[in-house]
Structure formats: structure tokens, C-alpha cells
Amino acid sequence: MTGKRKQSGEISRQRAGYLEGIVSIIINTILFALKLWAGIVTKSIAITADAWHTLSDSLSSIFVIVGVKLSSKKPDKEHPFGHGRWEQIAAIFIGVLLAIIAFDFFRDSIQSFRNHEGTTFGSLAIIVTIISIIVKEGLAQYAFRMGKKSGNLSVKADGWHHRTDALSSVVVLAGIFLAKYFWWIDGALGLIISLMLFHATYTIISEAVNKLLGEEPGEDLLEQINQIISDSGVGNVYPHHFHIHNYINHQEMTFHIRLDHAMSIEDGHKIASILEEHILRETGIVSTVHYEPLDTNYKN
């Protein structure tokens, strides 16, 4: 039963990655062409930067698809726990791509201030920017929903990429109406967009790195494990010292229990095996239980 649930989850992660990636590539490529045309016509750094930001979404979606493909590979001799962490690696690639683009926009905006460059926006810029806001927020909501249902981190990262693009377009739209009052508004908008991109980069990379380095089990999971132990009928075993190892498509957990020091090794092994079987059946997590005498003073 557990195996079936796990297999279904893996299919869901793949499907989410492929669907979100393909939809994103198609729509973002169309948006990029539209916004780049508007940026060239108006000679606006902000709109042109926004266009390349949109194209970067297509590139990040390619990373999503590649990451999903690699992470779905079955365990092998060299990688006995599978390849699920490719999702985190794909998310880091997306974050690095965002950082590079943010730096380019930051540099261009500083240059526009030095050259005292302004720009004139028209109806075309307003229409294209409004279309971008609506479409990009729609893509963000779609990616967040797919990421939540599947648990795919790279899809969620792509959703943040869409969201920052939508927000940058909101900033551009506000600036369009202020351009006639302030010559420097275009450069300022470029700076704001670059800072938004840097923030998105930090959010994406920090979450991916935390999962790669290892995380403390969440309170909900610990509560569930303690309840499983309580319901198993093995008595009071005082579980502690939990560690979880997340390989995305496969999770392992280790923890300690305390038993009466007079209990035989055979009985202790039997209790540990019962707990491992119950946890696997209820959660799909492979656990390893270490048992020790009840009066042991364990120090972390």
C-alpha cells in the first residue's frame, strides 16, 4: 500500500514539473517578444529589463523540466537513495540565473543615472505592461498550486520567478505614469526590479540549500511519529534524538528509544522492528531505531 502511494507521488511530481515547465516556456516566450518590442519602441531600460526577466522564466522552466527528468531516475548502485535531490539543484540553477540577470539590470540602471537618461512611455507600454501583470500572476498561481500538490521545490521556485516578474511589471506600470514628472524614473525602476530579483534569488537558493544540507523534522511529523509509537502497543519507549534524511522521492529517519536495561537484545530488536514497520506503513518513511538502556544519560 505504501509503495503504491509513493509511486503515485513520484508521478505527480513529474507531471507537475513537465506541465508547469511546458506551459511556462510557451507563454513566457510570447510575452518576451511582446515586451521586448515595446521596450525597443519606447527605448525603456525598465521594460527591456522586464522583457529579459520574462525570457529568463522560460530558461528556468527548462531547468525545471531537466531537473524533474533527472530526479525521476530510479536508484542505482552509485545512488542507492535515488536522484530526487536534482530538484534542489535545479532550483539553485534558477536562483543563480536570477542573480545574473539582476546584476545586469542593476548595472544598466546605474549607467542610466550617470548619463542622465530618461524615456517617454506611451499607450503601447501601458497595454503591454498590464497584459504582462495579468498573465504572469496567473502563471505564478498555477505554479504555486502545482508545487503545493506535488511537493516539487523546483516548480515552486519557478512560481516565485513568475511572481517577481509580475511584481516588476507592477512597478513598471507605476513608473509609466510618473515618467513625465521625473526623468530618472526609468533608471529607478530598473534598480527596484534588480533588488526584487536579488530577493527572489535569496529565497529560492536558501530553501534549496537547507534541504540539501538536511533539516530538523517538523513538529507535525514528530507528533505523528510519537502517535504511531504510542499506538503500536510496545509500551513506554521514550523516543528521542530524531534525524531525518530527505532524498525527495525517498525519506529515511533515525531515532533512539530507551528500554529497560534488563531486557534482552532479542526483545529490544523486536520492539525496534515493530516500530520501523508501523512507521513505514503509516508514513512511507524508512526508519532505523537505536535502542539503549533506560538509565543512560545521553548527551548531544
Higher pLDDT pick, 248 / 144? 144
Contact (Cβ atoms closer than 8 angstroms) between residue 159 and residue 147: yes
77-96 pLDDT, tens digit each: 766 565 666 777 777 877 88
What is the crossing angle of helices 123-150 and 2-42, to 10°?
Answer: 170
- In whole numbers, what is the pLDDT of the chain averaged over residues? 77
203-213 pLDDT, tens digit each: 878 877 777 77
134 falls in which pLDDT band (50, 70, 90)? very high
Give the whole-angstrom CA distance, residue 262 versus residue 33.
75
Contact (Cβ atoms closer than 8 angstroms) between residue 71 and residue 87: yes
Residue 11 above 50 pLDDT? no
| Fold of domain 219-293 | Alpha-Beta Plaits (3.30.70)
Residue 217 above 90 pLDDT? no
Grid coordinates in use for 250?
Answer: 525517498
Indicate the burial class of 118 (C-beta count within 10 angstroms; 0-12, 13-18, 19 or more): middle
Superfamily holding 2-213: Cation efflux protein transmembrane domain (1.20.1510.10)
Give the whole-angstrom CA distance, residue 158 versus residue 269.
46
- What pLDDT is attached to residue 76? 65
**Distant-in-sequence, close-in-space partners of 119: CB < 8 Å, separation ≥ 6:** 42, 43, 44, 45, 46, 179, 186
Beta bridge partners, 288, equal 254
Residue 155 above 70 pLDDT? yes
220-235 pLDDT, tens digit each: 888 888 899 888 888 8
Residue 246 above 60 pLDDT? yes
| pTM for the structure as a whole | 0.54
Give the whole-angstrom CA distance, residue 57 versus residue 97.
9
Question: Which of 14-23, 65-74, 179-188, 252-261 shows the highest mean pLDDT?
Answer: 252-261
The distance from CA 133 to its chain's CA centroid, rounded to whole angstroms, is 22
Alpha helices in 72-184 (DSSP H): 86-114, 123-150, 153-178
Residue 6 above 50 pLDDT? no
Mean pLDDT for 136-161 is 82
Indicate the burial class of 223 (C-beta count within 10 angstroms; 0-12, 13-18, 19 or more): exposed
Give the whole-angstrom CA distance, residue 58 versus residue 80.
32
**What residues does each domain of the chain span?**
2-213, 219-293
Closest CA to 160 of 207, 212, 114: 207
Grid coordinates in use for 135?
Answer: 498573465
- What pLDDT is attached to residue 210? 75
Number of Cα atoms under 13 Å in the Cβ half of residue 248: 31
